[in-house]
Amino acid sequence: MDYIYLAVIGSLIGTGSIVLIYIYLYVLYRERHIGIWALSWLILLSRYVLFDSGLLAWKQSIVGLTVYQILILISIMLFVWGTYIFADKPLNKWWAYSTTGILILTVTLNILYSALLYTLLIPLLFGSFVCIWIGVTFIYHLNLKGIGRSITGYAYILWGILNLLMPFTINISWLAPWGYSIGGILRMTIAVGTLLVYFEKTRADLVEKETQYRILAENAMDIIYYFRLLPKAKLEYISPSVFTVTGYKAEEYYASNKLIISLIHPDDLPLMDDFINSISKPSDLPLTLRLVKKDTTTVWIEQKCVPIYDETGRLVALEGIIRDITVRKSLEQMASMFDRMNMIGSMAATVAHEIRNPMTTVRGYLQVLQRRKAYQDDREKFSLMIEEIDRADSIIREYLSLSREKFANFKSCSLNYIIESLFPLIQANANSAKVFVNLNLTDIPDLLLDENEIRQLLLNLVRNGIEAMPSGGTLTIDTFLENNKAVMTIRDQGSGIPSHVLDNIGTPFITTKENGTGLGLPICYQIAHRHKASIRIDTSIEGTTFLIYFNSLPSSNTKSF
């Protein structure tokens, strides 16, 4: 009998171990099916402690038998419920019907029969079937990988077979200890298998999450990077989108940590130095600077960086996102330019007329005085003063062109016809500067244009192109269709536009000409804006091309602000 008690104690230890493991897993994962399984094992453990250990005399009592059988059925249903949740399936209602029917039948047998074999046979058969069903479910019907599901599944099947034999062996004194011992071993095996299942499941989930995040990172338009500082500086990850932004592949950045520094625009290196020096003091504001791409074009980027510290507080890594904001910068510059032009236009509308009126009076008196004999010796001085007044008047006239109150009269006309009608004037100006003008005009549809404004736009750009070639060259004017948009280009063979000027192109009063007013290009941008057109500039040491895209036609109204 001592062997039986030892075997029961071993079985209790096995069951207690699995209860602790399931409670541990529930605390760790907080998943409902683990909690249900833990509760079912806890009920099973209470059955072993109160009944199988001999603490209560239940075999000869109808109440004791009924409680014993109810504990078996409750633990069985909890096992089934938890397995359905684990398999992500709804509980079949026939399990509840079957359990209720078995409970009624066993209570009836408890009353009618006194033999222990008959009273325990049906619930234990049901429990054995459930154990085998759970084992088969683990092995064949769960999307699990690894050896853990096989260990757990086969242990459940063997435990079900052992329970099936229990009514026939419970009264055999020499065989009962072996049954309890094997049951305890199988429950310990189920516990170990369950741990393996969850470790393997956790690993599979981590791999899946890593794959998902990698797919997100590698398909994101923004550049995502991770740079380790300690123990040795090394770029550990940078997303493939870096190739689209900079023209260099990720492998080139892995090969050289200094590549990204070499791409920073020389004028923005101080910003990068300040960022590096204050890297341990994170800022809410992103770092904005320019990069020079592999094809030598400039791109604006915005970087947000997060410092990573170890448990001792040392800065060990940086991770962050780099975004291409070139388009946004262009829109901001354009919006700023239009704001400045609108401000200048408002100022022009207020003061320009008041300035021109006294200047007209002064010019008139200078002409009168110039004709008097007393001032004949000073005719050249009078002529110089009149020329300067006329120059000031021309500047004010251009200044007034920026006024928001200017009307544009649109009508359907040919862009090619406007260019051809101006060609003699353009050619005359070009000949005096030893510049050859070449026209390449292709068929394009008529557009709604203000003819006078387009003439002014064309003459301003042509004048800029001619002045960009002081030693002579070729000026080419093209028209063509591109993506159903009419395009006019003016291309010179000058030395290109410096980067510091290009960044502020179109800003009023910004000019590189000695006698320029800095109002020609702002007027061009204002005209383009009224025509809902856009201006793009391609410049290099071989020359500059202005491209005017008539993106959409103005409205059918005959007048527009």
When pLDDT is cut at 50, 70 and 90, the band that residue 18 belongs to is confident
170 against 543, higher pLDDT? 543
Mean pLDDT of 332-351: 67
| Arithmetic mean of pLDDT over the chain | 79
pTM of the model: 0.46
Q: What is the pLDDT of residue 377?
A: 80
pLDDT for residue 536 is more than 70: yes
Among residues 69, 191, 52, which one has the least CA distance to residue 126? 69
Q: What is the pLDDT of residue 188?
A: 79
Mean pLDDT of 429-442: 88
Find the range with the poorest average confidence among 141-150, 302-311, 343-352: 343-352
Q: What is the pLDDT of residue 219?
A: 75
Please give, one letter per residue, the 3-state secondary structure of 27-42.
Answer: HHHCCHHHHHHHHHHH
Find the range with the poorest average confidence among 146-160, 221-235, 309-323, 381-395: 381-395
- Beta-bridged to residue 227, according to DSSP, are 235, 318
Handedness of CA 475, 481, 482, 486 (dihedral sign): positive
Radius of gyration of the chain (CA): 45
292 against 142, higher pLDDT? 292
When pLDDT is cut at 50, 70 and 90, the band that residue 5 belongs to is low
417 against 513, higher pLDDT? 417
Mean pLDDT of 505-522: 65
What is the three-class DSSP state of 131?
helix
Q: What is the pLDDT of residue 557?
A: 42
Find the range with the poorest average confidence among 53-57, 267-271, 274-278, 504-508: 504-508
When pLDDT is cut at 50, 70 and 90, the band that residue 545 belongs to is very high
Q: What is the pLDDT of residue 554?
A: 44
Q: Are 461 and 527 in contact (CB under 8 A)?
A: no
In percent, the amount of the chain with pLDDT more than 90 equals 5
CA distance 419 to 441: 9
pLDDT tens profile 186-202: 877 887 887 788 788 77
Q: For the chain, give percent helix, strand, coil, nearest 5.
A: 60, 15, 25
Q: What is the pLDDT of residue 476?
A: 93
CA distance 437 to 429: 10
| Residue type at 27 in one-letter notation | V
Q: How many CB atoms lie within 10 A of CB 180?
A: 25
Q: What is the pLDDT of residue 353?
A: 62
pLDDT for residue 480 is more than 50: yes
pLDDT tens profile 33-44: 888 988 988 888
Token pair for residue 123?
A: 């619930």
Per-residue burial over 291-303, b if 16 or more Cβ lie within 10 Å, else e, is bbeeeeeebbbbb
Among residues 439, 435, 451, which one has the least CA distance to residue 478? 439
Q: What is the DSSP letter of 539?
A: E
Mean pLDDT of 159-172: 72
pLDDT tens profile 43-80: 888 877 787 666 777 777 778 888 888 888 888 888 88
CA distance 37 to 83: 8
What is the three-class DSSP state of 481?
strand
pLDDT for residue 257 is more than 60: yes
Does an H or E element contain 363, and which?
A: helix 326-371
pLDDT for residue 511 is more than 60: yes
